[in-house]
Amino acid sequence: MGRGECLAISGESGAGKSLFLRMVADLDPNDGEVSLDGVARASLPAHLWRRRAPYVAAESGWWAQQVHDHFAAGQLDRARRLAGQMGVGDAPFDGAVDRLSTGERQRLALVRALILDSPALLLDEPTGPLDPVSASRVEAVLLDRLAGGTVIILVSHDPAQGPRLGARRMRMADRRLAPESGS
């Protein structure tokens, strides 16, 4: 994949889509070789690789009780702006994580990855729990990132999402990727 390209992966639940993203992110053992901008995944400690290619899970983890504690002080203003672009108001940043809706948690987890300004994003169902208006706002932010050269690999059960993002589409079946028919 080249800069600014998107790959959308579809397939039945349990086919291995999330596992694939986790392997690319160096979260699960695998024998594959991955490189990004000429830097091999194997040449970096896992935590540094994940700064270059952050993985946003379908259900992201939260390690502190307050939302703002998940962002560095110097990143909080930018995080609030990005969240606003995706339809999340300012109030959630000053509250507890357990008070967030599923959709707010998903969008704020995406903000955590976006503020890294990494060259790639690995997104597992980034708009799965969102209503159509919120999903459209997230996709607008992703399109901006693609235009800026970010590589995005995403898993989606929405068959129209890949085309909206200009993505090459592949299908995962029995833990094997293959071009999606008509793609």
CA proximity to 96, closest of 62, 128, 73, 60: 62
What distance in Å separates the CA atoms of residue 115 and residue 41, rounded to the nearest whole number? 21
By the 10 Å C-beta count (0-12 exposed, 13-18 middle, 19+ buried), 125 is classed as: buried
In a domain, 112, yes or no: yes
Name the residue range of residue 12's domain: 6-179
Report yes or no: 107 and 134 within 8 Å, Cβ to Cβ.
yes
Residue found by looking up tokens 């946003």 in the block: 56
Classify strands 151-155 and 6-10 as parallel, antiparallel or unpaired.
Answer: parallel
* pLDDT value at 171 more than 60: yes
* pLDDT value at 183 more than 60: no
Q: In which band, very low, low, confident or very high, does the pLDDT at 113 lie, cut at 50, 70 and 90?
A: very high
In a domain, 62, yes or no: yes
CA proximity to 8, closest of 176, 128, 152, 175: 152
In a domain, 161, yes or no: yes
CATH assignment of the domain containing 105: 3.40.50.300
| pLDDT tens digits, 117-144 | 999 999 999 999 999 999 999 999 999 9
| pLDDT tens digits, 59-101 | 999 999 999 999 998 999 999 999 999 999 888 999 999 999 9
How confident is the model at residue 89, as a pLDDT?
83
What distance in Å separates the CA atoms of residue 22 and residue 5, rounded to the nearest whole number? 19
In a domain, 154, yes or no: yes
Total of domains in the chain: 1
In a domain, 101, yes or no: yes
List, in sequence order, every residue forming a beta bridge with 170; answer none if it has no partner.
9, 179
In a domain, 16, yes or no: yes
| pLDDT tens digits, 5-60 | 999 999 999 999 999 999 999 999 899 899 999 999 999 999 999 999 999 999 99
How confident is the model at residue 182, as a pLDDT?
60
In a domain, 1, yes or no: no
